[in-house]
Amino acid sequence: MPSSHHIEQHYMQRTGWLRASVLGANDGIISVTSLIMGMAASGASTQTLLITCIAGLISGATSMAAGEYISVKSQEDIEKADLAMEHRELQRNPELELKELTHIYIARGLTPELAHDVAVQLTAQNALEAHARDEIGINDNTAAKPLLAAGSSALAFSIGALFPMLSILLSSEQYVAQTVMVVGVVSLALLGALSSYAAGTSLLKGSMRVCIWGIIAMLFSSWIGSLFNVTPL
């Protein structure tokens, strides 16, 4: 017998953590791998590459966390200011706010009578929530969560940066640059497919998009590093 409850798990519910996690992991792989590629092209030793990788992981993770927190915190501050403004208007001009909500529902296709009834009922239930959702566009799925975004970015960056680090540790010294690049491209392809799966989009397109930009960054870093080659003649 079919259930009377029909609950859909929409992809928008994953927007907050998915964006921060994908951005962090992608940056961890590309930036640290490109950094290692540039240093390797300059003739740096394996020990130097490993130290550089560790430094890149630590600085990158903390930088991602700080940047993401500040960015999302600013968004949260704007949301709070808008909600405070809306709360004041609801106290001062409740009738005008009710008309405003009614016009929003009319614009979405409801008849004036039904739009008014819906606005009245939602206002009676929770006026601020109704205006936050339907007028400002703030809801639980899209609301800013600074700490979650910062933590997700830092953790994801660290995980992404582990791939080039393991490549250095497990590769022979003469093939370290090639190993780092191959592992970097493969890990980017997997990340692109994983993020596309979580977002409900094409796995192939997601992988290709990430891989192409990653390869460009790695090759460019290698070229810049080769200009400062320190290998003794």
Alpha-carbon distances, residue 87 vs 65, 92, 121, 130 (angstroms): 32, 9, 18, 11
SS (H, E, C) 141-202: CCCCCHHHHHHHHHHHHHHHHHHHHHHHHHCCHHHHHHHHHHHHHHHHHHHHHHHHHHHCCC
34, part of any domain:
yes
**Residue 88 has which token pair?**
């004041």
The whole-number average pLDDT for the span 220-232 is 80
Range of the domain at 36: 19-222
Encode pLDDT of 45-69 as tens digits.
999 999 999 999 999 999 988 988 9
211, part of any domain:
yes
Whole-angstrom Cα distance, residue 130 to residue 121?
10
- How high is the pLDDT of residue 11? 43
- How high is the pLDDT of residue 88? 92
DSSP 4: S
Q: Is the pLDDT of residue 233 over 70?
A: no
9, part of any domain:
no
User: The whole model's pTM is what?
Assistant: 0.71
Q: Is the pLDDT of residue 165 over 70?
A: yes
Q: Look at residue 20 and give its three-state secondary structure.
A: helix
- How high is the pLDDT of residue 71? 87
90, part of any domain:
yes
13, part of any domain:
no
Give the model's confidence band at 6: pLDDT under 50 very low, under 70 low, under 90 confident, else very high. Answer: very low
- How high is the pLDDT of residue 179? 92
Q: Give how many domains the chain has, as a whole number.
A: 1
The whole-number average pLDDT for the span 28-40 is 92
Encode pLDDT of 86-142 as tens digits.
999 999 998 999 999 999 999 999 999 999 999 999 999 899 889 888 888 887 666
231, part of any domain:
no
End-to-end CA distance of the chain: 79
The whole-number average pLDDT for the span 214-220 is 91
Whole-angstrom Cα distance, residue 5 to residue 210?
39
160, part of any domain:
yes
Which one-letter amino acid corresponds to residue 52?
A: T
- How high is the pLDDT of residue 12? 45
